[in-house]
């Protein structure tokens, strides 16, 4: 009977040994495997209740499974802790506890920086910084920077600096600011939408709908003239002012051809016009003043004064304010010369009349 029991024990040991490797030459140890790939290779679960220090030298690690179960199987309260050596005050901690946590709070100086992923995929990923302030969080797919309560795919509590480009897959991504909703910041449209507003639009409201409070369209290069490098300003969903590719500004007009085109009334306390030359040349001796007969003839033939545009020309081309004022002044100065000449003639006539009166009186006395 004893011999039979001994044979059974030997066979059991051989079976167990066939599943494990316990070498004595310092090579890898395998439990549950015949081909260990590390110093200790375990195929199966590990239960541990106390920390086990593998080494106290720099770059050593501790491996702790503080509660029974398989690490990584989402079993509640499973933990995996890995620490870098603390002799240089340079600890690194990664642990699985209802998720995964990375902690450098033991570093000197104390950064108190932590990152964790919750076991429930609907929960958060958060990163803490100095004094446990939250720097980054992901909550149900929303990313928050500087906030633990992101309300959109990306919520930033602070300024934003971009060193690269910003691409919008959506044609009109919207923004909400306070009580004003349906705003948008829209970038370059794809080829099928090149004629749709500007390549960069900043607006408050919804597109070109009547509830749009205001918008600015910035256009890049385009083969469509209306969108070719223009800046458009609008209110209430309608264009109000435009700066075109040539620097011409149009107010109430979409195709300005001058530095300022205004389709409407201009009210101003004063308008200053820079001039080249003025009409005082009329008073110079070398000026050839037309005779009244010549003026009369030109009026009869043309229906307007010389050097003054006709009604047809004015209606077609408008007038240049400074130039027209100079021409009107020229006519006033010419008229002044005519009046002076007429006054001289009247004086001569009066003198002649006085002489005639004297002669008549002398004849009456005879």
What digits encode the pLDDT tens for the residues 62-73? 444 444 444 444
Count CB neighbours of 273 within 10 A: 10
Residue-wise pLDDT tens digits, 20-30: 767 777 788 88
Q: Which pLDDT score, from 0 to 100, does residue 58 have?
A: 52
Q: Is residue 85 part of a domain?
A: no
Q: Is residue 214 part of a domain?
A: no
Q: Is the pLDDT of residue 240 over 60?
A: yes
Higher pLDDT, 353 or 80: 353
Q: What is the largest CA-CA distance in the chain?
A: 199
Helix or strand (DSSP H, E) at 300: helix 292-302
Q: Which pLDDT score, from 0 to 100, does residue 110 have?
A: 45
Find out whether 82 and 93 touch, Cβ atoms under 8 Å. Answer: yes
Domain hosting 336: range is 292-364
The span from the CA of 54 to the CA of 52, in Å, is 6
Residue 303 — pLDDT band, cuts 50, 70, 90? very high
Which pair of tokens denotes residue 16? 């167990």
Mean pLDDT value of segment 261-270:
94
Which pair of tokens denotes residue 338? 């005519």
Q: Which pLDDT score, from 0 to 100, does residue 332 have?
A: 96
pTM of the model: 0.49
Give CA separation, 330 vs 35, 257, 289, 302, in Å: 112, 29, 11, 19
- Sequence-distant (6+) residues with CB within 8 A of 273 are 321, 322, 325
Find out whether 171 and 189 touch, Cβ atoms under 8 Å. Answer: yes
Give CA separation, 316 vs 10, 290, 310, 321, 355, in Å: 119, 28, 10, 15, 57
Higher pLDDT, 169 or 259: 259
The span from the CA of 274 to the CA of 137, in Å, is 62
The share of the chain scoring above pLDDT 90, in percent, equals 28
Mean pLDDT of the chain: 73
The span from the CA of 182 to the CA of 204, in Å, is 7
**Which one of 81-90, 135-144, 223-232, 311-320 scores highest in mean pLDDT?**
311-320
Give CA separation, 307 vs 30, 295, 302, 325, in Å: 111, 11, 11, 12
Q: Which pLDDT score, from 0 to 100, does residue 362 have?
A: 84
340 CA to centre of own chain: 68
The span from the CA of 273 to the CA of 255, in Å, is 24
Strands 249-251 and 260-262: parallel
Q: Which pLDDT score, from 0 to 100, does residue 23 have?
A: 75
Q: Is residue 352 part of a domain?
A: yes
255 CA to centre of own chain: 26
Count CB neighbours of 294 within 10 A: 11
Q: Is residue 65 part of a domain?
A: no
Residue-wise pLDDT tens digits, 158-170: 887 877 766 666 6
Count of domains observed in the chain = 1
Specify which residues 82 forms β-bridges with: 63, 94
Which pair of tokens denotes residue 331? 């006519």
Give CA separation, 195 vs 87, 189, 240, 243, 315, in Å: 66, 9, 18, 17, 34
Spatial CA neighbour of 201 closest among 189, 191, 186, 214: 186
Q: Is the pLDDT of residue 199 over 60?
A: yes
Which pair of tokens denotes residue 248? 């011409």
Q: Is the pLDDT of residue 96 over 50?
A: no
Higher pLDDT, 26 or 177: 26
Q: Is residue 280 part of a domain?
A: no
Q: Is residue 353 part of a domain?
A: yes
Q: Is residue 296 part of a domain?
A: yes
The span from the CA of 23 to the CA of 214, in Å, is 79
Q: Is residue 332 part of a domain?
A: yes
Q: For the ranges 22-36, 135-149, 219-233, which has the lowest average pLDDT?
A: 219-233
Sheet holding 154-156, edge to edge: 62-64, 81-83, 93-95, 99-103, 114-118, 124-128, 134-139, 142-145, 154-156
């Amino acid at each position: 009977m004893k011999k039979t029991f001994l044979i059974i024990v030997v066979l059991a040991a051989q079976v167990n040994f066939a599943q494990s490797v316990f070498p004595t030459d310092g090579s890898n140890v395998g439990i549950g495997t015949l081909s260990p790939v590390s110093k200790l290779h375990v195929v199966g679960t590990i239960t541990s209740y106390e920390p086990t220090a593998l080494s106290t030298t720099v770059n050593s690690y501790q491996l702790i499974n503080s509660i029974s179960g398989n690490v990584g199987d989402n079993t509640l309260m499973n933990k995996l802790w890995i620490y870098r050596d603390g002799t240089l005050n340079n600890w690194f901690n990664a642990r699985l506890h209802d998720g995964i946590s990375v902690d450098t709070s033991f570093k000197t100086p104390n950064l108190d920086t932590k990152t964790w992923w919750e076991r429930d995929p609907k929960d958060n990923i958060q990163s803490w910084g100095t004094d446990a302030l939250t720097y980054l969080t992901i909550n149900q797919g929303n990313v928050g920077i500087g906030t633990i309560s992101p309300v959109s795919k990306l919520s930033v509590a602070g300024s934003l600096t971009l060193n690269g480009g910003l691409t919008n897959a959506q044609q009109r991504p919207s923004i909400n600011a306070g009580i004003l909703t349906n705003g948008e910041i829209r970038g370059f449209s794809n080829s099928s939408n090149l004629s749709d507003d500007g390549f960069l639009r900043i607006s408050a409201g919804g597109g070109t709908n009547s509830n749009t409070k205001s918008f600015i369209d910035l256009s890049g290069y385009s083969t469509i003239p209306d969108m070719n490098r223009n800046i458009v300003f609008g209110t209430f969903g309608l264009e109000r002012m435009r700066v075109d590719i040539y620097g011409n500004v149009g107010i109430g007009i979409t195709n300005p051809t001058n530095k300022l085109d205004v389709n409407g009334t201009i009210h101003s306390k004063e308008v200053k016009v820079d001039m080249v030359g003025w009409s005082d040349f009329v008073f110079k001796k070398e000026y050839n003043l037309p005779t009244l007969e010549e003026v009369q003839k030109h009026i009869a033939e043309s229906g307007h004064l010389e050097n003054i545009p006709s009604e047809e020309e004015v209606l077609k081309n408008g007038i240049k304010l400074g130039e027209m004022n100079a021409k009107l002044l020229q006519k006033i100065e010419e008229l002044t010369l005519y009046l002076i000449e007429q006054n001289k003639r009247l004086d001569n006539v009066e003198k002649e009349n006085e002489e005639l009166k004297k002669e008549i009186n002398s004849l009456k006395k005879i």
